[in-house]
Amino acid sequence: MNTINNTIVFSITKQNATTFFDHKEVNIPSKYTKDYSCIKPGLGLYKFIVNEELISSAPNKYIRKALCDIKDNPKSNYININGHGLPYVETNTYDQYLMTFSPYLEKKMEIVLWASYANWKNDLGIEPEKLTIKTTCVCEADNTTGKEKCIDAVAELTKIEWKIPSDNKFCDMAIQSAYYFGANSIAAAEEYFLGRDNLDFYKISEPENCIGWKRFSELESEAEKLNVIYMLYDENRGHIYVGRADKFKQRLMQHRDKVNCPNDPIPEFTHYRYTQLEDQYYKYSYLIEDAAIHDIAWIFPMSNSNHFHNSLQEEINFGNINVPTGGIKMVNRVECQPQIINTDIFNSK
């Protein structure tokens, strides 16, 4: 048997961050590829493992959790080391080698390499992490061909040098968000570093998100908005509708298109209102729409619902709830809650 050992050290620099975060692969620095260059069994899939001491040295509990997730899911974790570029005719070796991560692993590595990811997204100037990966490939001769074949290949993540600022209170919040909601939730990391302390779905700081109800006649002059939760109102029928849209203006015009959308629930809406979502919550926009439908259905009756009954308006009409002379108003004191729940405390209950 023949054992091929190699140690690869690299940083997710600004030059190779796009290769890693966009294409899920890393160029192996040329000085580390000598052990792969002429030995084909040294190329291929490696089982990816995490050194226990590395887990205990993680700079915070969320990165530690991500490393533990990798350790606890060995079947989902692998890297592929293979040639890239044109092979040399004389030796059949390659001018470059790539290390490609499995889909599960690359998602976890986005959290582990949080500083590099945030810097890549926002050019924050954080020093990137430096990684050390040790690879071991055990080979034996194939009885049929006489050539060596790999029978076991392991890549161990043994060391990471983290450079995450320890004196910034927003770092932990952003890394926590990355762990629970995905790395894209730190796309606005720059705002956290600049002192933003509101974590809200909606861009309530933007004036257009706080404008009141508009008439349909104003829609034509409206600029297109992306990633929007909206409400429509038909003042002639007393109908209200909640929806979401990738492109707000285009979606509202679809409601009015009786030819292509003959069964639209509110084709004659007279008023509209909308709120644009923060970009990092785009993938949760259907859940946010569901929450809006749920809340409105508690106030106004939803005739097509199988679950939302006894709305506030119905209870008032039935005489079960009284409305004071001054009418109804909300008395919440904040427009949004900036906290993220510590799920460790929740799960320990």
Closest by Cα among 50, 36, 42, 34 to 111: 50
Among the ranges given (80-89, 130-139, 213-222, 266-275), the one the predictor scored with the smallest mean pLDDT? 80-89
For residues 6 and 135, membership in a common domain is answered with yes
In this predicted structure, what is the pLDDT of residue 272?
95
The answer as to whether 6 is a domain residue is: yes
In this predicted structure, what is the pLDDT of residue 172?
62
pLDDT interval class at 187 (50, 70, 90) = very low
Q: How many domains does the chain have?
A: 2
For residues 69 and 131, membership in a common domain is answered with yes
In this predicted structure, what is the pLDDT of residue 32?
75
The answer as to whether 322 is a domain residue is: no
What is the per-residue pLDDT across 26-73, written as a single tens digit (0 to 9) for each?
888 777 776 666 566 667 888 999 999 999 988 888 888 889 988 888
The answer as to whether 180 is a domain residue is: no
The answer as to whether 181 is a domain residue is: no
In this predicted structure, what is the pLDDT of residue 276?
87
Residue 184 and residue 280 in contact, taking contact as beta carbons nearer than 8 Å: yes
Helices (H), the chain: 14-23, 52-56, 61-72, 103-112, 114-122, 169-181, 189-193, 248-256, 285-299, 312-317, 343-348
Residue 182 has pLDDT above 70, yes or no: no
pLDDT interval class at 190 (50, 70, 90) = very low
In this predicted structure, what is the pLDDT of residue 178?
66
In this predicted structure, what is the pLDDT of residue 268?
95
Closest by Cα among 22, 121, 137, 129 to 79: 137
The answer as to whether 337 is a domain residue is: no
Residue at a domain's end among 129, 163, 197? 163
Helix (H, G, I), strand (E, B) or coil at 46: strand
For residues 155 and 10, membership in a common domain is answered with yes
For residues 13 and 158, membership in a common domain is answered with yes
Give the tokens for residue 210: 């706080």
The rounded Cα 153 to chain-centroid distance in angstroms is 31
Any idea what the CATH number is for the domain that residue 250 is in? 3.40.1440
In this predicted structure, what is the pLDDT of residue 346?
41
Question: Side-chain half-sphere of 69: how many Cα atoms within 13 Å?
Answer: 17
In this predicted structure, what is the pLDDT of residue 179?
67
What is the per-residue pLDDT across 283-321, written as a single tens digit (0 to 9) for each?
778 888 888 899 999 999 998 888 888 899 999 988 889
**Domain with 305 in it:** 207-317
The answer as to whether 26 is a domain residue is: yes
Amino acid at 244: R
DSSP 223: P
Mean pLDDT of all residues in 124-138: 82
In this predicted structure, what is the pLDDT of residue 188?
44
Among the ranges given (29-38, 172-181, 251-260, 301-310), the one the predictor scored with the smallest mean pLDDT? 172-181
For 241-280, b where at least 16 C-beta lie within 10 A, e where not — what string?
bbbbbeebbebbeebeeeeeeeeeebeebbbbebbbbbeb
For residues 156 and 10, membership in a common domain is answered with yes
Helix (H, G, I), strand (E, B) or coil at 311: coil
CA angle (302, 273, 215) in 5-degree steps = 105
Question: Which residues on neighbouring strands pair with residue 158, listed in sequence order?
Answer: none
Residue 197 has pLDDT above 90, yes or no: no
For residues 142 and 19, membership in a common domain is answered with yes
For residues 126 and 224, membership in a common domain is answered with no
For residues 58 and 129, membership in a common domain is answered with yes
The answer as to whether 32 is a domain residue is: yes
For residues 81 and 229, membership in a common domain is answered with no
In this predicted structure, what is the pLDDT of residue 53?
93
Name the phi and psi angles at 210, rounded to 5.
-115, 10
Task: Identify which has the larger pLDDT, 27 or 87.
Answer: 27
Query: Model pTM?
Result: 0.52
Among the ranges given (54-58, 241-245, 332-336), the one the predictor scored with the smallest mean pLDDT? 332-336
In this predicted structure, what is the pLDDT of residue 345?
44
For residues 218 and 140, membership in a common domain is answered with no
